Amino acid sequence: MTHNLIRKLLIIGLCSLFSAAATAQTFIFTAIPDEDETKLVERFRGIADYLSEELDADVKYIPVKSYAAAVSAFRNNQVQLAWFGGLSGVQARSLVPGSQAIAQGTEDQAFYVYFIAHESTGLDRQDSLPEDVRGKTFTFGSKGSTSGRLIPEYHIRETFGEAPEDVFSRVGYSGNHTRTLRLVESGTYEVGAMNFAVWEKELENGNIDTDAVKVIWKTPGFPNYQWSIRGDVDENYGEGFTGRVREALLSLDDPELLESFPRSDFIPASNDDYEPIRKVAKEIGIID
The residues binding other proteins (CB under 8 A) are 6, 9-10, 12-14, 16-22, 28, 36-38, 62, 64-69, 71-73, 75-79, 91, 95, 118, 137, 142-144, 170, 172-173, 175-176, 178-179, 182-183, 186-189, 286-288
Residue among 180, 178, 198 at smallest CA distance from 188: 180
> Could you tell me which of 105, 54, 80, 109 has the C-alpha nearest to residue 220?
109
Q: Given the complex with other proteins, which of 83 and 266 has the nearer CB atom? A: 83
Nearer to other proteins, 203 or 212 (CB): 212
CA 118/CA 252 separation, integer angstroms: 38
Count of CA atoms in the C-beta half-sphere (13 A) of 237: 25
**Torsion of Cα atoms, 67 then 69 then 247 then 224, to 10°:** 20
Contact predicate 260/39, CB 8 Å: yes
Q: How far is the CB of 127 from other proteins (least distance, A)?
A: 29
Sign of CA dihedral 124, 36, 143, 95: negative
Q: For residues 143 and 120, give the distance between their C-alpha atoms in angstroms, rounded to a whole number.
A: 26
- CB nearer to other proteins: give 5 or 253: 5
Query: Closest CB to other proteins among 118 and 244?
Result: 118
> Minimum CB separation from other proteins for residue 20, in Å?
4
Indicate the helix (H) or strand (E) that contains 116: strand 113-118
Nearer to other proteins, 229 or 252 (CB): 229
> What is the closest distance, in whole angstroms, from the C-beta atom of residue 250 to other proteins in the complex?
27
Asked whether the beta carbons of 146 and 277 are under 8 A apart, the reply is yes
Q: Residue 13 or 135: which CB sits closer to other proteins?
A: 13
Whole-number minimum distance, CB 120 to other proteins, in Å? 8
Amino acid letter, 144: G
262: preceding bond cis by omega (within 30 degrees)? yes
Nearest approach, Cβ of 137 to other proteins (angstroms)?
6
Distance CA 203, CA 78 (A): 36
Closest separation between CB of residue 160 and other proteins, Å? 19
Measured from the CB of residue 64, what is the shortest distance to other proteins in angstroms?
Answer: 5
> 220 by DSSP, 3-state: which?
coil
Based on CB atoms, which residue is closest to other proteins, 28 or 82? 28
